[in-house]
Structure 1
Amino acid sequence: MSGVSTHKEAGNDAFRQGNYSDAIDHFTAGINENPENHVLYSNRSACHANLKNWKAALEDAQACVRHQPDGWAKGYSRLGAAHYGLGELNEALDAYRKSLAIEPTNEAIREQVAELEKSINPKSAENMANPFASLFGPHTFAKIQTNPRLSPFLAQQDYVNKINMLISNPSLCQGMMSDQRIMQTMLELMGVNAAAAPKEEPPRSSEAPRAKPEAPKAPPAPKDPSVLAKEAGNAHYKKREFEEALRCYDESISLDSANGSAYLNRTSVLFEQGKMEECEAELNALLDKYENKVIKTPDFVLLSKILTRKGEIHQRQGKYSSAIEFFQSALRENRNADTLKKLNACEKEKKETEAAAYIDPELSLEAKNRGNELFKLNEYPEAVQE
């Protein structure tokens, strides 16, 4: 294996474990040996994206696009994700469109393009109903920086990202007005001192309070690319298009390796394909991520689903006792009807299998011999069970 391949594999292993900084070091070492390897730039861009280092993610995505061969769409997908993280929606849309042109069957990219188009190009009636469109433009940051009441917000990255998104698409402001910083920013940009703004007078006793007109609804913010990739995988899974589903789940994980549900959905595909050993290995790796709090929302519901799937694997393999233990453990984490139904079915199948075994003379003799051995060891309850 060449040095570049060694660095790449080491980086991939670190990435799968959520060690993004280590992965970056490995990919960087590989790039130093081969500065034109587009895959290494792509992988390093994904690491930076997971660390929310969007500028670095963008630089690597741009390098990937420069070096990638014709017919390789992932570089543009990385470029779109980086622009999206920076709030540059128009640039993100352009990159995703180029990716889709190369790989028109990629449902995850197709959905991302549709979401961005819906967000960037809302209906004209919604544009007319938005009175704040003129507040956000090329000079917005300069105005914020010179405003002593707003400039402290620039130290907060989520605020900067939201302002970038509003500059790209001012129609999103209605959906962000619940953020008091954004509300204050709009008031300040309109020339209204939010701190000194007069409070609304209570209605006089002789007057009925007037109903406030409903604010026009803003188009929904585009979904996270990782979520869209996972949803595309779910659609393929329902159609039993397993290879396409795996590709989408892998894309979702590469965009956000802390997305626990994408890992779990991937094991569903492996289970349906009958790849039990590979499925259980991935479940064990997911358990490690859960215990080390690498994945998002490490709650008891996800743990219950992991244990339930392990129970299904052991039941499929005829390991009924361990399967029952996994189902029971899952129910202790989150009692739900689906797992309870699987536990009951497994217990029933275990009894039927054991009953059928005694009909077979050879199996009956084996059970008798096991019982005799247990009896000699004074393990009477176990001997009776055999």
Structure 2
Amino acid sequence: MSSEEFKAEGNKYFAAKDFEKAIEYFTKAIDASPEPNHVLYSNRSASYASLKNFPKALEDAEACVKTNATWAKGYNRVAAAHYGLGNLDDAKQQYEKALQLDSNNAMAKDGLKSVENAIQSRNAQPDMGLGAIFSDPNLITNLKNNPKTKELMKDPELVNKLVQIQTNPKANATQFLSDPRLMTIMATLMGIDMDAPEPPMPSSSKPEEPSQPKSQPEPKSEPKSQPVPKSESVPKSQPKEEKVEEDVEMSDGEKETADQLKAEGNTLYKAKKFDEAIAKYNSAWETFKDITYLNNRSAAEYEKGDYDAAIKTCNLAIDEGRDMRADYKLIAKAFTRLGNTYLKKGDLHEAAKYFDKSLTEHRTPDVLNKLRSTQKEIKVKEAQEYINPEKAEEARLEGKDYFTKGDWPNAVKAYSEMIKRAPEDARGYSNRAAALAKLMSFPDAVQDCNKAIEKDPNFIRAYIRKANAQLAMKEYASVMETLNDAREKDMELGGKNLSEIDQLYNKANSSRFQGIEGETPEQTMERVSRDPEIVKILQDPIMQGILGQARDNPAALQEHMKNPEVSKKINMLIAAGVIRTR
């Protein structure tokens, strides 16, 4: 495949919001491009930004402006990446550069306004005195060497939080409210006595979970868990079977008693005796306050099907966990179970909300996949609910009216509404392609035509509009490929459009071989004679025989032209000037 073909695939996946696939194809397009192409870097930057991978987005955006320093949209990409990274001043500077190149650039205007609002909001926030405390450039190194904090600093997420606070103390001051480890670090920096026990470190082992019931009693030490998978697809509205978390730290007698009750509850849970398990977990909670027991109780209530009780228990676990400064991973588990429960109840918006809350506490691939799956299902459901053939027809007629008046932007808007209302109607995509072509947005027009052809492979008008857009971009080989497909389909349907297809084909051929400015006719002929496709035709023994007959009997050429393949080759030779008709 060529660079342009890879690019077209990338555009298709980007439009479908499959950004990882889009990145894959834009990368292939960049590798296949004979010279650096700023548009490809821009597209891949947009894909990375859509995945919130702003460092990669910035890297590609900078490659874009390095390749073409006069393209305003490239600076928009740089600005958007800086904005995502929290570099507001840099983002503002880049949007201003874009406007210097293109004062009417709407994206730059909107982006600059958003950045200025964010800067104003940032400057209005108190920094809780953090600016002075976190100003030391050797802060991270000192904390890693401090015996009170070195273990905490082994967590890369915590280190990243500190870097964010250093970069912008005002905007990140509230992180101290959600992570008790940051309070420990701040106390160390302020010289407060740290002889009191440190907050517990997150366990490096995976939470232990029940699997199948065993015939023998459970030992006091909990069974080992299965590793958390790197990624997991969640079936629609069917979250995977709930798990219960295990606690591995033992302390005083009450804790030991509570853990024994929990172990008994786990055995009952595995045996699917949920009522008895709930009673054991409840007794464990009453014996010793550890929200692990509440999380386990909510899991049993979930499996029992008592979703309202599970929701109530999860909320209790979160509230109690906040008060006792519980491990943020345990609170994240409670939020995840809330998400699963609402998913089971069919409340997708609430499910997405709580999956997102879980990720703010502790980010895991499993929960991230659940959030994305739920958000995707919400969009699909909303799109299905929006479908209305009658409204689609109203939008089509409105678009036609705007198109007739030459109001192309509003025509695009109306046809977009038609597509939303009737996504399987190929006419919406084809009509929007026509309006986009009027706005000189040829790549988008080609993309819409591809969608129309996908919906209705026999829609000849979509092929013709696609070929016209490709011709405007001087993609002559692509034009001919599109028209060959159109001719084949049209002949199957009766050949009503063959004349228009052939005219466009000849126009593309003529444009392909026309002389370049400053080139003499002899130089043009010399260049054309080296064209690989022309050389291939002239070396074809069959074509050599046909051309030999034509020299002796020109009328014989008309007979050979009845063969579509021969006709195509002869027309190309005519367009190239190899065969002269006069």
The TM-score normalised by the length of structure 1 is 0.47
Instruction: Indicate the structure (1 or 2) with the bigger Cα radius of gyration.
Output: 2
Q: Which has the higher contact order (CA 8 A, sep 6+)?
A: 1
